[in-house]
Amino acid sequence: MSSRDERGADLSAKLRSLPSVDQVLSEPSLADALARWDRGLVVGAVRAVIGEVREGLRSGSEAAHDAASLAVMVERGLEARLASPLRRVVNATGVVIHTNLGRAPVSESAAMAMAEAAGGYDNLEYDLEVGERGSRAQHLEPLLCAVTGAEAGVVVNNNAAALYLVVSAWCEEREVLVSRGQAVEIGGGFRIPDVLVSAGAELVEVGTTNRTRKSDYTRRDTREVAAILRVHSSNFRIVGFTEEPSLSELREAADETRSLLIDDIGSGSLLDTRRYGLSGEPRPQESVAAGADLVLFSGDKLLGGPQAGIVVGKSSAVRRLQHHPLMRVLRPDKTTIAGLAATLQHYAAGEAEETVPVWRMIGAEASALRDRAERWRREVGAGDVVAAESTVGGGSLPGDTLPTFCLSLAFTHPTETARRLRAREIPVVARIEQGRLLLDPRTVLPDEDDAVVSALVDVLGVE
Ligand SMILES: *Cc1c(COP(=O)(O)O)cnc(C)c1O
């Protein structure tokens, strides 16, 4: 036999030795998958893997092709495709509102309210008094008005949607004046100019990047101006030779141009961030008091609630949003309404600092954080407790930091160790600074301490 024939005979033997579908299915490692998933899905996955391995053998692969190896491949493939995509993660980064990690964890009562709404029927669009169809849009309005002092309010899916709705409803085919320093990208590809244009408005940039005055807004032919839009520079700062008109000056400019004043304040902090040694973030109640017609902010940034976009302001301006066809496209679901109501109630009760996780984390005392980091160090038996800085994140307070204490650990390959921590059943996300792994207790929820300690004990064991 020539060597070519030998190779052919060898391949045929390998192909013949491929296990059957039933042989793979009866492997013990597939028992759990068969108990959990639809049998047809598992059988389909087994066929697919056998097909792939057959192709692999034909193109010269030397990989194992016994039933047990194939079953492991099937099991991994099913897990990758069918397991829940969202996993609980421990945020040890010290970034409080971490957009990549799901932004704000909601309060205990908000989480309960959301679960309750999800698992049952409710009066979402039902008027219990008259036994007829009611309005979803109006559930949150009284609470929103109570905590912001506004006349009216409406909720959509996120703040980007809120801006889109406002511009569509009020500015279509007309001009919106925006300071050059505010025609910016907020993050994740959300560009103010693009949103305005796609919502059908004509963007007119006024002033310059660093300095814009009231007169820049009023200088124009006013017939076409639908609105003056102020956008909070959430995630960057222009420093030095800068000037921006105050909101009351913008109110005057809007009156002079007979246009609407829209204030997109981003984070929408109802509490005063200066009490925590941070810079001042714009507050919805202040924008309302200064006379903005519509004030827009997120539900899941400094408000500390579920993902939502909130618009509060004057009744005449908000009503048009509630009746706009886009409202049907952007309306929030019942779990959002339930979670947001519970979150707003914390503010109405004056207890947000104690109950809303975002504020508890921002308000955590440095000494308490040091005690926690020390406890981790004792239980882990390694590392040093070092002074470090946490940030608020979520496009709020750029450049501001909160003093904290972290557990700092030296590893030969810190990026590899960080990867190991992320690969755990409960992933722990840490940060690396100057070649050391830092874990910040500020953003680790109280019931997650054990997860952090056991993760560190395990990775230290591997070192
Ligand atoms: C974050 C932010 C948005 C977008 O809000 P989402 O809730 O993420 O959609 C819009 N405008 C400003 C000023 C922001 O800071």
pLDDT for position 138: 84
Residue 403 belongs to domain spanning: 90-97+359-462
The last residue of one of the domains, among 325, 355, 385, is 355
Q: Looking at the structure, tell me whether residues 306 and 382 fall in a common domain.
A: no
Q: Is residue 226 part of a domain?
A: yes
Q: Is residue 237 part of a domain?
A: yes
> CA 323, CA 321: separation in Å to the nearest integer?
5
Residue nearest to ligand 1 atom 2, measured at CA: 266
Site to probe by mutation for ligand 1, drawn from 234, 262, 303, 392 as the one with most ligand atoms within 8 Å of Cβ, is: 234
pLDDT for position 222: 62
Q: Looking at the structure, tell me whether residues 259 and 403 fall in a common domain.
A: no
Q: Is residue 322 part of a domain?
A: yes
Cβ(159) – ligand 1 distance below 6 Å = yes
Report DSSP state, residue 393: E
3-state secondary structure string across 204-224: EEECCCCECCHHHHHCCCHHH
Report whether 430 contacts 439 (CB < 8 A): yes
3-state secondary structure string across 298-309: ECCCCCCCCCCE
pLDDT for position 23: 97
Q: Looking at the structure, tell me whether residues 236 and 370 fall in a common domain.
A: no
Residue nearest to ligand 1 atom 12, measured at CA: 266
Q: Looking at the structure, tell me whether residues 322 and 446 fall in a common domain.
A: no
Q: Looking at the structure, tell me whether residues 117 and 53 fall in a common domain.
A: no
> CA 129, CA 152: separation in Å to the nearest integer?
23
- Give the position of tokens 């500390």: 304
> CA 407, CA 437: separation in Å to the nearest integer?
8
Q: Looking at the structure, tell me whether residues 257 and 289 fall in a common domain.
A: yes
Q: Is residue 69 part of a domain?
A: yes
Report DSSP state, residue 394: T
The last residue of one of the domains, among 303, 338, 355, is 355
Q: Are strands 175-179 and 202-206 parallel, antiparallel or unpaired?
A: parallel
> CA 63, CA 137: separation in Å to the nearest integer?
59
Q: Is residue 452 part of a domain?
A: yes
- CA-based angle 387:389:393, to the nearest 5? 160
DSSP conformation letters of 17-52: TSPPHHHHHTSGGGHHHHHHS-HHHHHHHHHHHHHH
> CA 146, CA 134: separation in Å to the nearest integer?
22
Cβ(190) – ligand 1 distance below 6 Å = yes
Q: Is residue 363 part of a domain?
A: yes
Q: Is residue 102 part of a domain?
A: no
DSSP conformation letters of 258-288: T-EEEEEEET--SS-GGGGTPPPPP-HHHHH
> CA 231, CA 264: separation in Å to the nearest integer?
5
Q: Is residue 194 part of a domain?
A: yes
Q: Looking at the structure, tell me whether residues 370 and 339 fall in a common domain.
A: no
Structure tokens at 27: 């492997």
Instruction: From the CA of 308, give the closest atom in ligand 1.
Output: 7
Distance 315 CA to ligand 1 centre (A): 23
Q: Are strands 402-410 and 436-439 parallel, antiparallel or unpaired?
A: antiparallel
pLDDT for position 8: 83
Residue nearest to ligand 1 atom 15, measured at CA: 266
CATH for 213:
3.40.640.10
Structure tokens at 229: 């839009």
Per DSSP, what are the bridge partners of residue 96? none
Q: Looking at the structure, tell me whether residues 328 and 370 fall in a common domain.
A: no
- Longest CA pairwise span in the chain (Å): 97
> CA 124, CA 137: separation in Å to the nearest integer?
9
Distance from CA of residue 361 to its chain's centroid?
17
CATH for 392:
3.90.1150.180
C-beta neighbour count of 72 within 10 angstroms: 15
Q: How far is CA 248 from CA 106, 230, 244, 255, in A?
A: 34, 12, 11, 11
Q: Looking at the structure, tell me whether residues 69 and 125 fall in a common domain.
A: no
Report whether 311 contacts 324 (CB < 8 A): no
Residue nearest to ligand 1 atom 1, measured at CA: 266
Report whether 357 contacts 409 (CB < 8 A): no
pLDDT for position 1: 56
The structure's pTM equals 0.92
Cβ(442) – ligand 1 distance below 6 Å = no
pLDDT for position 5: 81
- Give the position of tokens 């792939």: 52
pLDDT (tens place) for every residue of the chain, 463 residues total? 567 788 888 889 989 999 999 999 999 999 999 999 999 999 999 999 999 999 999 999 888 899 999 999 999 999 999 999 999 999 999 999 999 999 999 999 999 999 999 999 999 999 999 999 988 888 999 999 999 999 999 999 999 999 999 999 999 999 999 999 888 788 777 889 999 999 999 999 999 888 999 999 998 766 689 999 999 987 777 888 888 999 999 999 999 999 999 999 999 899 999 999 999 999 999 999 999 999 999 999 999 999 999 999 999 999 999 999 999 999 999 999 999 999 999 999 999 999 999 999 999 999 999 999 999 999 999 999 999 999 998 877 888 999 999 999 999 999 999 999 999 999 999 999 999 999 999 999 999 999 999 999 999 988 7
> CA 296, CA 300: separation in Å to the nearest integer?
13
Report whether 269 contacts 281 (CB < 8 A): yes
Q: Looking at the structure, tell me whether residues 348 and 371 fall in a common domain.
A: no
Cβ(236) – ligand 1 distance below 6 Å = no
Q: Looking at the structure, tell me whether residues 261 and 375 fall in a common domain.
A: no
Q: What is the number of structural domains in the chain?
A: 3
Distance 276 CA to ligand 1 centre (A): 23
SS3 260: strand
Q: Looking at the structure, tell me whether residues 199 and 298 fall in a common domain.
A: yes
